[in-house]
Amino acid sequence: MPVFRGLAVLAAIAGSAIVLLIAMSVTMRHVARAPLHVTEELVGLLMTSAFFLALPLVTLRAEHVRVSILIANLPHKTRQWVGFAAGFFGFIFCIWYVALCLPWLEFAFDRNLKTEVARLLMYPWMALIPFSMILTSMAFILRGLVGPQRS
């Protein structure tokens, strides 16, 4: 799905931005004797963003890190049932996570919360989490219907 691939590209850009920020901060520490003061906050926000941006595509393609020694040794029908159950519980978890995130997002939006050092608005970053989890729940549904997507 193009939306999932687009989010994965944004995740890669966020990862690259992390490397650039850290490199700039280290350079500034040695050249100007003063690192960038916003590095830790931005790296934390970008790392979280990269994870949640990549999650829908990783879920759709079933490329998670997993231990499959038990599953690989089950009969085919049992493996299918376990895969269905895992997808069902993954879907339920995503919806539950969204339900837990929305009050926090509303709280941040209502109070116009900002980060401590850089004074960045929190709710745009926080909105990424329920958005990603909704797409991830869709990926679980798609995987259940047509299997893992490869491209």
Q: Is 75 part of a structural domain of the chain? A: yes
For residue 151, being part of any structural domain is answered with no
Q: Is the dihedral angle over the CA atoms 138, 139, 141, 145 positive or is it negative? A: positive
Is residue 87 a part of any domain in this protein?
yes
- The count of structural domains within the chain is 1
Q: Give every CB contact of residue 12 below 8 A, 6+ residues apart in sequence.
A: 50
Q: Is residue 48 part of a domain?
A: yes
Instruction: Please check the confidence at residue 148 and state whether its pLDDT lies above 80.
Output: no
- Give the model confidence (pLDDT) of 19-68 as tens digits: 999 999 999 999 998 888 899 999 999 999 999 999 999 999 988 877 78
How much is the pLDDT for 39? 92
User: pLDDT, tens digit, for every residue of 107-138?
Assistant: 999 999 999 999 999 999 999 999 999 999 99
- Asked if residue 121 belongs to a domain, the reply is yes
Q: What is the pLDDT of residue 149?
A: 67
Buried-exposed string 73-84: b where 16+ CB fall within 10 A, e elsewhere: eeeeeeeeeebe
Look at residue 36 and tell me if it is in a domain.
yes
* pTM attached to this predicted model: 0.88
Domain range for 52 is 2-146
